[in-house]
Amino acid sequence: MLRLFYYFGRCSELDSAYHYPPELFELLVETVPRLVRSKKALLDFFKGAGVSASVTTDIEKRLNEDRNCLNKYEITRLVLTRINEAGDPALFPRREIIRRVTCFEDFTCCYENDRLPAEGLVARVRQLVNVKDSFTRMNIERQAERQQRIKEQETKQKEFEHKQAAIASIRSDIGALYNEIDPHRRGKALESVLNRLFKIEGILIREAFTLIGDEGEGVIEQVDGAIDIDGEVYLVEMKWLKSPLGKSEVAEHLVRLFNRGAARGIFIAANGYTAPAISQCKDALHHKVVFLCEMRRIQLLLEQGKNLRDYLRRKAQAAISDRDPSFEPPL
């Protein structure tokens, strides 16, 4: 019967004065007196349900002075009215009275002419409480779903705002690279900035790393980063040179790719590529998926708030289907 409490636990939010709705109140007034044989038993019923002595003291006094001054129905109406008006402090006895009525099963203790009416009235109380409980539970569930949706929306909004702030910082850092005159520092800074971007977009697998030879050769290979697009691993090579990227710079990265089985390749250059470099990548497409990106294009993508993953995916598709490593999808 605990489910019956949903409704009555929330009644105070619906009606600050009368916690029992009128239809239930009147039904209880008709039902409770029939469940007991005497006025004393009626008062004991209310006391057993947790009704405060302050509610019944004057009633008992009046009955002691004149046993016929109040009948059981009048006593019930008076007690229920008082606990309704008591507000939240009387929440427990209100709930307990409902529980006792809806759980009542032994009608042999009732007067014989009250048994059948009592059974019918208890059934009506159960039905009414169940109907109210169903609507209330549905309202509670709808409210909980609404609150959950609001929470999810707030979380998504915060994540979006955090991402936008991070992208704004990346855009600023990329712009600052144009003022860096040291090519080595500029190149390392570019790796860091773009790996941050890949991380924000959720596609970064590994930041820049180096491989050391097993026989004391020192650093034998350096990879600027590795990312994942649709389950495919792409090794990324980033270059910030004053002139377009040439055939020799491209060849170095292609060698790494051919030594790594299924790994694919992405070039990112600040100032484009020479025709021979593009031609070399096009030839490589017969054996390996590789495509070329320009830094200014990525900057424009960020300025327009476009998705980097989608941009890279379309370039990969063009490289595979059209053998075009330098294809630029419209933004």
Q: How far apart are CA 271 and CA 183, in angstroms?
A: 13
Within a domain: 88: yes
HSE of 85, CA atoms in CB hemisphere, 13 A? 7
End residue of a domain, out of 119, 144, 169? 144
Please report, rounded to a whole number, the percentage of residues in the chain having pLDDT higher than 90: 49
Across the range 20-27, mean pLDDT stands at 89
Q: Is the pLDDT of residue 140 over 50?
A: yes
pLDDT digits (tens, 9 = 90+) for 28-45: 999 999 999 999 999 999
CB 56 within 8 A of CB 46: yes
**Cα distance between the two ends of the chain:** 61
Instruction: Give residue 10's pLDDT.
Output: 43
Instruction: Give residue 28's pLDDT.
Output: 94
pLDDT digits (tens, 9 = 90+) for 85-122: 888 888 889 989 988 998 899 998 899 999 999 999 99
Residues 219 and 298 occupy one common structural domain: yes
Residues 139 and 6 occupy one common structural domain: yes
Q: How far apart are CA 107 and CA 17, in angstroms?
A: 33
Model pTM above 0.75: no
CB 292 within 8 A of CB 326: yes
Q: How far apart are CA 14 and CA 164, in angstroms?
A: 43
Q: Could you give the number of structural domains in the chain?
A: 2
CB 233 within 8 A of CB 266: no
Q: Which residues of 45-66 are buried (b: 16+ CB within 10 A; e: fewer)?
A: bbeebebeeebbeebeeebeee
Burial of 221 (0-12, 13-18, 19+ CB in 10 A): middle
Residues 192 and 126 occupy one common structural domain: no
Within a domain: 167: no
End residue of a domain, out of 129, 144, 159? 144
Give residue for tokens 């792409």. 234
HSE of 204, CA atoms in CB hemisphere, 13 A? 17
Q: How far apart are CA 289 and CA 322, in angstroms?
A: 11
Which tokens sit at 237? 């090579």
Instruction: Give residue 220's pLDDT.
Output: 40
Residues 115 and 21 occupy one common structural domain: yes
Range of the domain at 306: 183-322
Within a domain: 170: no
pLDDT digits (tens, 9 = 90+) for 164-207: 999 999 999 988 988 888 888 888 888 888 889 999 988 888 77
Residues 188 and 298 occupy one common structural domain: yes
